[in-house]
Amino acid sequence: MGIKIQDLQQELKLSDSELSRYMGLAGVRIDEGVKRLQDKDAYRIKGLVRDSRRREAKKKELVRLPSIVSVRDFALKIELPVTEIIKQLLKNGVAATVNEDLDYETAAIIAQDLGYQTEENVTELEQDVLTPEKLAEILTKEDVEHQVSRPPVVTIMGHVDHGKTTLLDTIREANVAAGEAGGITQKITSYQAKKKGKLITFIDTPGHEAFEFMRKRGASLADVAILVVAADDGIKEQTKEAIRHAKAVDVPIIVAITKMDKPGADAEKVKRQLSELELVPEEYGGKTPVVPVSAVKGTGLDDLLDTILLVAEINEPKAITNRAALATVIESRRDSSVGVLAVVLIHAGTLHLGDNLVVGKTAGKVRRIISYDGRSLKEALPSMPVTIVGIQDLPDAGDILQAVEEQTEAREKAARVRTIKQITRHPVSAPVVKKPVELRSPGNRNEQPKEEPKDKIKKLNIVLKADTQGSLEAIRQTVMAMGDVEVVPQILSAGVGNITENDIMTAEPSKAIILGFNVNTASAAVRMADNGGVTIKSFKIIYELAEEVRQRLEDLLPPVIVREDLGKVAVLKVFFSIRGRQIVGGRVVNGIAKKKELVQIMRGDQLIATGKITELQQNKNEAETVKAGSECGITFEGNGKAKEGDSLMVYHEEVQKRKLGSNRVKVE
């Protein structure tokens, strides 16, 4: 059986050279004189020719690519093996895996190198799972002709206790600051205020260092960033972080110098500090608006709102309203009476009651829309912060909300996101760490860690519970950044809601500590914890929770023995010697000799023995210390015997508790 080579060549319309090439690609070797091919070899050659001709035809077509496309989808669109795409990317200096996204520009260059012609198709993104990056592409490339003005979204950023929340309370005439634990904002809050008949949307972000990633998220949602700096305190590290986040997403910055009513307020000092950070005030010839305000006296607030509207007019924010809604989750929590509540900021489109939703890894249907001031709404327009009821499960802060036509589409997209997150999520357990480094301290103090089994890492097992998803993320990030080379936190479970018996059962086998933030503990869980010896700690302020974790990690660190050399004594005469005790006379060469301190007997460079000074005399009188240049009598206890000509090295040892810090492990 089989097929004649000549017949196959005629059927496929191949030249001699083309036939040889395809036979080589198919791995077919024909010995001299053989004129027939086996059926399987002919089938393989036909397949190669068919694929090659289809690709050549594809190159004559215009391939439409979305603004962001995964390597796998890119390969499918131009009908090439994924390995070929990855190889081509590497040639262009791009290392990417099959699931990684490429922007359109990169994909177009690779396609052109391979002989394909492309064009960008922005709307295709909406058929895929949306990420913040894909959402940004969609919003950037919306049809300008169909856009209408929307309220500017303003994020408030700055250092803890610089007056952010108090300032905003004064603007919206609501006393939220008094209800915040320690006067510190624990989660992002959002609302709208009106000035000259125009709405302004505010997003308040926490200022403490534990909330760095939340501040970053806040900056990415905003049209304008207000940097709050206290006039009596100046620029702090968290202020600098806020500036970096705002600049990274190219958001216009307005500086509000708060607490102008306080003694020691120095606005000029703040302006000089801003100039050093390349935020030169307008009055200094720069482009940064700076507005001094006092929330207590209510001064400067109108100027601040006017400045916001002025900055917004220069880059007027717009969006399309006549389309399916796109939004970002700001915060989410579970309510015992209505279920999941998600606070979202609408970016584009209009969200209606009854809309089917995909929100990150979960789906749902809009059962209720609640405004920032508690009113029930029928719809939500761009720039509106609203609370949504009807989502099936807790979404993560930062997830994208997308309204879709059918429930099945929402469920399918949510399932795809769950699969992606399951593949790519980072474990919450402890990281692999390197061998500890030897600790050294300045001067003549030498630290040596107490001996521990090599490569043994101690773990602090933790169960986390928080009131909202955003707070839970902040705590998790903060806790997991505290690892050292010898001790690491290990989060066994983390969830939103009150502490229950299930949490006790999770913690008990591994002696984990349960840390709760703004949550209650069920009475049955309290009894179970008492019986099982499980510790529950509840907090209202996140950095106090972080300090608890830090303290417990440091308690797990083996202590260090710190030695301080005090002096050197030359042995001149041995008066008395008995096993374990010796009396000698000597001269203090340098430093001091001190009673009750440790000594080493040195014979040249050789260590003979160690001991402790029990008695010290100078001129036959009891002494606590003897200084350099003086002679003394020393009684010491210890093994070994000193001889004339030996030296006694007097030193002090102290067992000190270790601190986290120098050996910090960064957790990605």
Two tokens, residue 404: 């879709």
107 band by pLDDT with thresholds 50, 70 and 90: confident
Write the pLDDT tens digit of every residue in 219-266. Answer: 567 888 899 998 988 898 888 888 888 887 788 899 999 989 888 889
Return the top range by mean pLDDT from 22-31, 333-342, 644-653.
Answer: 644-653
Write the pLDDT tens digit of every residue in 367-425. Answer: 999 998 889 999 999 999 999 999 998 888 778 899 988 888 778 777 766 655 554 44
Query: Is the pLDDT assigned to residue 444 strictly greater than 50?
Result: no
Write the pLDDT tens digit of every residue in 416-436. Answer: 666 555 544 433 333 333 333
* pLDDT at res. 299: 86
Query: Is the pLDDT assigned to residue 174 strictly greater than 90?
Result: no
Write the pLDDT tens digit of every residue in 619-653. Answer: 889 999 999 999 999 999 988 889 999 999 999 99
Q: What is the mean pLDDT of residues 327-334?
A: 86
d(CA 403, CA 424): 25
124 band by pLDDT with thresholds 50, 70 and 90: low
* pLDDT at res. 243: 86
User: Would you give the DSSP letter of residue 320?
Assistant: -
CA dist 47 to 23, 28, 43, 53, Å?
11, 13, 6, 10
Phi, psi of 465 (to 5 degrees): -135, 135
83 band by pLDDT with thresholds 50, 70 and 90: confident
Does the predicted model carry a pTM greater than 0.85?
no
Among 37-41, 147-151, 372-376, 462-466, which stretch is predicted with the lowest mean pLDDT?
Answer: 37-41
31 band by pLDDT with thresholds 50, 70 and 90: low
Catalogue all structural domains in the chain, each as residue range(s) with its CATH number: 3-50 (no CATH), 61-120 (no CATH), 151-316 (3.40.50.300), 326-424 (2.40.30.10), 445-556 (3.40.50.10050), 560-656 (2.40.30.10)
Two tokens, residue 519: 């949550």
Write the pLDDT tens digit of every residue in 554-605. Answer: 888 888 888 999 999 999 999 888 888 899 999 999 999 999 999 999 999 8
C-beta separation of 148 from 319 below 8 A: yes
Q: What is the mean pLDDT of residues 14-38?
A: 73
Q: Hey, which residues does 256 pair with through a beta bridge?
A: 228, 291
- Tell me the Ramachandran region of residue 628: left when phi exceeds 0, alpha when psi lies from -120 to 50, beta otherwise: beta
Q: What mean pLDDT value characterizes the chain?
A: 81
Query: Is the pLDDT assigned to residue 537 strictly greater than 70?
Result: yes
Among 48-57, 110-119, 256-265, 387-396, which stretch is predicted with the lowest mean pLDDT?
Answer: 48-57
Query: Is the pLDDT assigned to residue 1 strictly greater than 70?
Result: no
d(CA 208, CA 54): 59
Query: Is the pLDDT assigned to residue 54 strictly greater than 60?
Result: yes
* pLDDT at res. 435: 31
Higher-confidence position of 195 and 634? 634
123 band by pLDDT with thresholds 50, 70 and 90: low
Query: Is the pLDDT assigned to residue 89 strictly greater than 60?
Result: yes
Query: Is the pLDDT assigned to residue 208 strictly greater than 50?
Result: no
Q: What is the mean pLDDT of residues 295-300?
A: 84
* pLDDT at res. 483: 77
C-beta separation of 405 from 354 below 8 A: no
* pLDDT at res. 366: 94
* pLDDT at res. 25: 74
d(CA 488, CA 183): 31
Q: Which residues of 413-425 are buried (b: 16+ CB within 10 A; e: fewer)?
A: bbeebeeeeeeee
d(CA 513, CA 453): 25
188 band by pLDDT with thresholds 50, 70 and 90: low
C-beta separation of 309 from 335 below 8 A: no
Of the chain, the percentage scoring pLDDT greater than 70 comes to 85
